[in-house]
Structure 1
Amino acid sequence: MKYRKIAAMTLAFSLVFASCGSTASENSSVSTSVSKEAAKGGIERYEGKTAEEIVASLTTEQKAAQMVEGAFYNVSPEDMKTYDYGSVLSNFSELPNPSADDWMNTVREYQEGALSSEAAIPYIYGQDSVHGVNYASGCVIFPHNINMGAANDPELMKKYGSLVGSDIVHTGMLMNFSPCVDAAQDPRWGRTYECYSDDNEMVKNLSVAYAEGLLSEGVVVCAKHFFGGGYTKYGTGENSDMTERLIDRGDAQMSKEEIDGQLSVYDGLVKAGVQVIMVSHSSLEGTKMHENAKYISYLKDDLGFDGFVLSDWDSIENCSGADLKENVILCVNAGIDMLMEADNFEECRGYLVEAVEEEAISRERLDDAVTRIIKVKMDAGLFKDPYLKEVKPTYEYGSEESHKVARELAEKSFVPLKAGEHMTIEKGMKVYVSGPAADDTGVLCGGWTYLWQGETDANNGERVLPDSPSILDALKASAKEKDFEIITDPKKIDECDLIVLCVGERPYAEWNGDTKDLSIVGELALEGNKKAIKEAAKSGKPTLTLIVAGRNVIVDDYLKDWDSCIMCYLPGSEGGNAIADVLTGDASPEGKLPMPYYSSVKQIGTGKCWHEAGWSATEA
């Protein structure tokens, strides 16, 4: 969804925080008094009115403004005062090490602008909390969705949703662009780890449970991406914005059964009460989903979705129209209600007004879109409590319960790929811990962690998560309690009884994770994987290998040299502790493959694989 705008983001941060107060807690000194302009019959004028009545009172220009969502770094509180845009979204790294209170201050600052506008309609702030509130300091980074599929525990997923929802409410960024309900079919796709499974039934069960948890805390839930992104074919990736993609945003070619499977997921989410649905960047049989009126209409008319449909980041710009104006018309007439346009939101607002005046978009379609948006805001309580002073999150931000559940989810998600004699560390052992994933918190979390692409500790120059243990940290702590010895000096490898080899992928997101090569020593592998693998094999010592990766990477060439192997996927900030629990016998690796595991890329799409989804070496 993202492009980087570092300089602009830094400027936006400076402008906003120069005018913010210190904290945004319930006892905050942040001003939430409405300005003189807003006080002149501002939001109070809407008390007791229906969404339809509110929409009827707005001008065409004001309605069009409600239908666009600009990026934080391009919109100021003063802009909100002038135009009263319907939504603002964040781009992850705008604020240097922001706290939840910092974000709440920012959200309120923008709301002050919105309520000071002539329309005085409250706006809603959107963000990608895809594995916890992964953009604010002190948050718990939960395992990624692929881990959740491996754990496959809907009850725990609902608890996870309520914990994340509580943290979201603490930040004030009420609209969450999650869950991702794509069903990844090809592990070469860079968004595989954002998916629960390749199986739509599992995707439905887990996403509905998670959404119910979010909704219980008052979050505006935006499910994505409608639909088919996980079915895009290798080699059809979208080439746009000077970017060539292998799979991402490509063309999906789906059977009726596969389409029905994806639609059943959204049916479940609509029934659960999800308020927003984001459309996929991808195409279906050559038609961009953003202009696919057939299926967007099906969502609203057949599934009964009464929330609003949101475009993805700048995606309308790559539709079939001759220019941006034509694409605005195409997509809105197809049923999209709000346009996520990071940079061109103001242009889109203007084009909406022109299109209505030219009768290219009917006033009925305009009013329907804005009514849907207003209803979602009303249901979220923004007309009664626009500054979120009355919200009462169930849990403290970054609560101990969040740490506990994150750790449990990680433990339950670990999949044994080979179960030999050395699945655990025994008392008195000397254990040599090696590999580039051993002492790196950024690797444990992957993409969408503070930065869109994520980052390794090595490249960051410091710990990505300074308050969370790496695998090595957690094993050192366990060694004292469990009476074994950790060795990290390569010169002492001959003294060890067991090697714990930690390898994996570097963090990535979206098309930057598209790959031709799924090998554990391939193009997206961590630097040092190959060296560490060779070192372990040369030693002749029993080796327990941990794989920290966003998908089922190919390990066939090396598996014979390993006594045991556990796939950890991307276990998050409690991943180090969870791994230590499993290796010392305090927990069991209970996960099962959430999607097929291939021996080579040549098997993909053939119906052949190394192991089917649902497999585990301990239950084989």
Structure 2
Amino acid sequence: MSEPSSTTTSTREAPLPTDPAELLSLMTLEEKLAQIVGFWDKGDGDAVAPLQGAFGDPQSLHDTSRHGLGHLTRVYGTNPVEPTERAAWLWEFQRWLVASTRLGIPALVHEECLTGLSAWKAATLPTPVAWGASFHPELVERAARLFGATMHELGIHQGLAPVLDVVRDPRWGRVEECIAEDPYLVATTGTAYVQGLQAEGVHATLKHFVGYSASQGGRNFGPVHAGPRELEDVLMVPFEMAVHEGGVRSIMHAYTEIDGVPVAADPGLLTGVLRDRWGFTGTVVADYFGVAFLRVLHHVAEDLGSAAALALAAGVDIELPTGDAYLAPLLEEVRAGRVSEELVDRACLRALEQKAELGLLGATFEDEPPTEIELDGPELRAVARELAEESIVLLSNDGTLPLREPAKVALIGPNADRTEALFGCYSFVNHVIPQHPGTEPGIEAPTVREALAAEWSGAEITHVQGCEIDSEDTDGFAEAVVAAEGADVVVAVVGDQSGLFGRGTSGEGCDRDDLELPGVQRQLVEALLETGTPVVLVLLTGRPYAVGWALETCAAVVQAFFPGEEGGAAVAGVLSGRVNPSGRLPVSMPHSVGSQPYTYLHPHLGGDTDVTNLSSRPSLPFGHGLSYTTFERDGLEVVAGQTSADLTVQVNVANTGDRAGAEVVQVYVRDLVATVTRPVAQLVGYARVDLDPGQRRRVSFTVPPARLAFTARDGRKVVEPGAFDVWVGSSCEDRELVQEVRLDGDVHEIGTSDPRLTTVAVEDA
């Protein structure tokens, strides 16, 4: 970036107003447009954004900012830069904007923060699908508070997270960025993230509104064919809760089209739903280059000016990461009378109101930037460790685990000793560092091999890679088999490499057309099984794979969804028994690629029936997860509300084993007869309950009408009277405790002010 002069002083005779509307009235058209765009010194090539190299910055930062600047894009997250040095640069640039532009408005700085701040040397947490596996939104909120405080200290105002797309197809590369296939789990976890980040003065940005995860064939940017009921009752649910319950201040549009209309050009969604129905008052920002993509990819605009007109009218307030369409092309459209300046005013006022909320209007940056900052301190690492431990799912176990004192261990597999295997595609390690060969990760992240060596100091551990992640080369099999034959147990660590746009097996633009483990990894595991030595399979992946064969043949299978910087130690702790696994599947484990797309939320005819010879039943259901202790549930009581369509659900849960553990109590509902088809199971409440051996607790859920509601034929969100099955179990398929209940009275319509959250109370039984 060009360096602004630090010697420029303001010649402004009087301070300018800090009221957004009054400030808007003083602005020229060029100054208004400057406030609704970003600037990104992104460098060359397709490194960290789709088609990044297709767009060039026509001007330097100094020239672009002569009328002011709306956003500074990824100041810390584009290159490996020393955070304190970059902070000094940022403060100097903000002072230049204040002193040298006519209106003196600082820029809003945004960064990626999907797994913590995506910057060099910053703590990196597990991926969001691991958050879902933890079923612990309070812990996610605590994590967001911690790295949100760091972001605020660095002068960052907005984070581009969380991703609230509901998983619909495991073939899609961005499954790792999502939280779950259940909209309520996504909604509660995502809303907790929003509340944590915004509590520290950093605005969260919901991604990607809406439908992105339902793309055709699980292909990135693929067309979406979701009907209005799927949009309303599944895909929109997390966004609505984050608006109503979380008070989110920014939302990013999805790249995709729905039934032929790109979301970035759809006023029915970006204005009609978000603002008119839900009352959202924040800013809608473009996904990177999303406005230009209306011309380049969707072909609904003949040039950038037309693309800008469509997006602005639809309700996209801020063009990110740069002003490819909203600067010169939009200026020409307004000057020619083809776009009303009132639309520019609408977007600019929202941008100014956001800056006012963040304290930027009137800010001088006369304070000093941080000269020391702890990006990966002990408190944040402790949360990263806790989240990693709680997110690991024990899929199967024949009693081999835990391995308390193994003597000879063959540690085999392409992910056994790779730091990158712990992280998702929006981690700095996998997102940016690959573009800078020779750069160290900057954080301490022991691999599984290093963590096991520390966990089992007395064991003889023989490490053999065996094969690459995504290669057909089997030359390493022979050495791996020899190691397995000489060991008491094999720990096989396989899975994904996260990357972007085809440079990985998981991540943005890294979609799959099958759900077998990439490359020859399955063949490697099968070769190890043939030795007769017990094989413990550890999956470090970004998506669920079709590993039903492993569930039947391996001594144990452990699933870790890119568990972050403390993930190696968390895996080691689960294998040794130091950690009692408590994660539960946030996505179904698929049986085959041919059964996709699949979701446990399917109606009756979406599952196995007598009218088709093909099974869609997953290998393991949503909510499944084993423990080293045992739990018992009893005493289910379900009471329907007297004046509204709510439910009270109470159940006892007890630890009947010999060690402490956490049970995830899951409440499901099925509407037995309705005017539209309804899912065979739907999560309406859950609670993570820690229990000592022999401890027994009673868990109470108050399920509001919104959790039972659906979109009726006339478009209203309603709860119809009638019979419902309610059950509590260890997964969506576990109907150990079930009770039928009737809701009487009239159809109950859900209003905008109705609560969306199921409340939970836990007390001694």
TM range (shorter): 0.7 to 0.9
Q: In the alignment, which of 439, 460, 479 is matched to residue 485 of structure 1?
A: 460
Q: Give, in whole Å, the separation in 2 of the partners of 1:162 and 1:93.
A: 19
* Alignment of structure 1 residues 186-205 onto 2, 5 Å: 186-205=169-188
Gaps of 5+ in 1: 1-11, 20-32, 236-245, 523-527
Task: Describe the SS at the equivalent of 2:530.
Answer: helix
Instruction: Using the aligned pairs only, state the percent identity.
Output: 25
Pairwise CA distance, 1:143: 0.3
Pairwise CA distance, 1:531: 6.1
TM-score, scaled relative to structure 1: 0.85
In the alignment, is the contact (CA less than 8 A) between 2:210 and 2:253 conserved in 1? yes
Q: Give, in whole Å, the separation in 1 of the partners of 2:445 and 2:341.
A: 53
Larger RCO (CA within 8 A; separation ≥ 6)? 1
Pairwise CA distance, 1:453: 4.2
Q: Give, in whole Å, the separation in 2 of the partners of 1:167 and 1:426.
A: 38
Q: Once the two structures are superposed, what CA deviation does each residue of 1:125-181 show, in whole Å capped at 9, x if it has no partner? A: 1121110112222x1110000000111111111101101212222332321100111
- Give the direction of change, closer, same or farther, for the CA distance of 1:148–1:386 in structure 2 (3 Å limit): farther
Q: Give, in whole Å, the separation in 2 of the partners of 1:275 and 1:390.
A: 27
Q: Once the two structures are superposed, what CA deviation does each residue of 1:58-104 show, in whole Å capped at 9, x if it has no partner? A: 11110011111132234744235423221121287643x32321332
In the alignment, is the contact (CA less than 8 A) between 1:439 and 1:470 conserved in 2? yes
Q: Which moved more, 1:141-150 or 1:106-115?
A: 106-115
**Pair member with larger Rg:** 2
In the alignment, is the contact (CA less than 8 A) between 1:290 and 1:316 conserved in 2? yes
Q: Which amino acid in structure 2 is aligned with residue 68 of structure 1?
A: V
The equivalent residue for 1:68 is 37
Pairwise CA distance, 1:587: 1.1
Task: Describe the SS at the equivalent of 2:456.
Answer: helix
Gaps of 5+ in 2: 43-56, 295-299, 465-478, 501-506, 598-605, 608-615, 628-729, 732-765
Task: Describe the SS at the equivalent of 2:301.
Answer: coil
Q: Give, in whole Å, the separation in 2 of the partners of 1:532 and 1:92.
A: 40
The equivalent residue for 2:495 is 504
Q: Which amino acid in structure 2 is aligned with residue 284 of structure 1?
A: I
The equivalent residue for 1:57 is 26
Q: Which moved more, 1:507-516 or 1:225-234?
A: 507-516
- Give the direction of change, closer, same or farther, for the CA distance of 1:553–1:463 in structure 2 (3 Å limit): farther
1:301 maps to 2:276: yes
1:578 maps to 2:570: yes
1:399 maps to 2:377: yes
Q: Give, in whole Å, the separation in 1 of the partners of 2:453 and 2:434.
A: 21
Q: In the alignment, which of 256, 260, 265 is matched to residue 291 of structure 1?
A: 265
1:513 maps to 2:510: yes
1:424 maps to 2:424: no
Q: In the alignment, which of 143, 151, 173 is matched to residue 160 of structure 1?
A: 143
In the alignment, is the contact (CA less than 8 A) between 1:165 and 1:219 conserved in 2? yes
Q: Give, in whole Å, the separation in 2 of the partners of 1:353 and 1:291.
A: 19
In the alignment, is the contact (CA less than 8 A) between 1:249 and 1:281 conserved in 2? no
1:129 maps to 2:113: yes
1:40 maps to 2:37: no
Q: In the alignment, which of 309, 318, 343 is matched to residue 329 of structure 1?
A: 309
Q: Give, in whole Å, the separation in 1 of the partners of 2:544 and 2:426.
A: 19
Q: Which amino acid in structure 2 is aligned with residue 312 of structure 1?
A: D
Q: Give, in whole Å, the separation in 2 of the partners of 1:91 and 1:603.
A: 43
Q: Give, in whole Å, the separation in 1 of the partners of 2:303 and 2:406.
A: 69
Q: In the alignment, which of 330, 333, 348 is matched to residue 355 of structure 1?
A: 333
Q: Give, in whole Å, the separation in 1 of the partners of 2:307 and 2:321.
A: 12
Q: Which moved more, 1:280-289 or 1:116-125?
A: 116-125
The equivalent residue for 2:287 is 312
TM-score, scaled relative to structure 2: 0.70
In the alignment, is the contact (CA less than 8 A) between 1:543 and 1:563 conserved in 2? yes
Pairwise CA distance, 1:414: 0.9
Q: Which amino acid in structure 1 is aligned with residue 109 of structure 2?
A: Y
Q: Give, in whole Å, the separation in 1 of the partners of 2:73 and 2:385.
A: 30
Pairwise CA distance, 1:493: 3.5
Pairwise CA distance, 1:364: 2.4
- Give the direction of change, closer, same or farther, for the CA distance of 1:428–1:570 in structure 2 (3 Å limit): closer
- Give the direction of change, closer, same or farther, for the CA distance of 1:519–1:215 in structure 2 (3 Å limit): same
In the alignment, is the contact (CA less than 8 A) between 2:307 and 2:325 conserved in 1? no
Q: Once the two structures are superposed, what CA deviation does each residue of 1:549-587 show, in whole Å capped at 9, x if it has no partner? A: 000012234443310001101101110111112112121
Task: Describe the SS at the equivalent of 2:292.
Answer: helix
The equivalent residue for 1:414 is 392
Q: Which amino acid in structure 1 is aligned with residue 254 of structure 2?
A: S
In the alignment, is the contact (CA less than 8 A) between 2:75 and 2:86 conserved in 1? no
Pairwise CA distance, 1:384: 4.3
Q: Give, in whole Å, the separation in 2 of the partners of 1:41 and 1:448.
A: 46
1:615 maps to 2:649: no
Task: Describe the SS at the equivalent of 2:515.
Answer: coil
- Give the direction of change, closer, same or farther, for the CA distance of 1:81–1:518 in structure 2 (3 Å limit): same
In the alignment, is the contact (CA less than 8 A) between 1:134 and 1:448 conserved in 2? yes
Task: Describe the SS at the equivalent of 1:520.
Answer: coil
Q: Give, in whole Å, the separation in 1 of the partners of 2:285 and 2:426.
A: 20
Pairwise CA distance, 1:497: 1.3
Q: Give, in whole Å, the separation in 1 of the partners of 2:533 and 2:518.
A: 21
In the alignment, is the contact (CA less than 8 A) between 1:77 and 1:113 conserved in 2? no
RMSD: 2.8
Pairwise CA distance, 1:534: 4.1
Pairwise CA distance, 1:611: 2.2
Task: Describe the SS at the equivalent of 2:152.
Answer: helix
In the alignment, is the contact (CA less than 8 A) between 1:140 and 1:573 conserved in 2? yes
Higher helix share: 1
Pairwise CA distance, 1:471: 0.5
